[in-house]
């Protein structure tokens, strides 16, 4: 399997997994904490969390098919940076917990960077 395909599958898997399991199948306590800390009621927080889960699944599927496009990789990088900033603003203590957004988002950003570099090199040849 090529580096490109590994990066593609890992990024896609991360979006799908984080959209499906902690947001759609079971709303994880940390997901509730993040959204409710923005000032939303419990009911609204769950609705927002589930909507975010659907959006993450849709983005993961889009990424699977459009991974060669510069725009989808730039959106991935910007989205992951935005999510890191949201955690920093809403619940900064989560950045030093086990299995935190720093250790998931930064590697995914790096994988998108690899895809961008490989795509640019492929266009040169």
| Per-residue pLDDT at 15 exceeds 90 | yes
Under 8 Å between Cβ of 66 and 115: no
For the entire predicted model, the pTM comes to 0.94
Structural domains counted in the chain:
1
Q: Which of 88, 122, 121 is nearest to 102 (CA)?
A: 88
- Can you give the pLDDT at residue 66? 98
Q: In terms of residue numbers, what domain contains 58? A: 3-124
- For 41-84, the pLDDT digits (tens) are 999 999 999 999 999 999 999 999 999 999 999 999 999 999 99
């Amino acid at each position: 399997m090529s580096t490109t395909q590994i990066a593609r599958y890992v990024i896609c898997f991360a979006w799908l997994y984080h959209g499906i399991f902690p947001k759609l199948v079971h709303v994880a306590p940390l997901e509730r904490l993040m959204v409710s800390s923005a000032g939303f009621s419990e009911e609204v927080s769950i609705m927002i969390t589930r909507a975010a889960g659907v959006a993450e699944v849709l983005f993961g599927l889009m990424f699977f098919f459009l991974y060669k496009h510069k725009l989808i990789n730039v959106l991935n990088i910007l989205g992951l940076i935005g999510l890191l900033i949201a955690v920093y603003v809403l619940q900064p203590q989560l950045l030093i917990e086990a299995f935190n957004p720093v250790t998931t988002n930064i590697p995914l950003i790096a994988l998108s960077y690899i895809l961008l570099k490989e795509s640019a090199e492929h266009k040169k040849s």
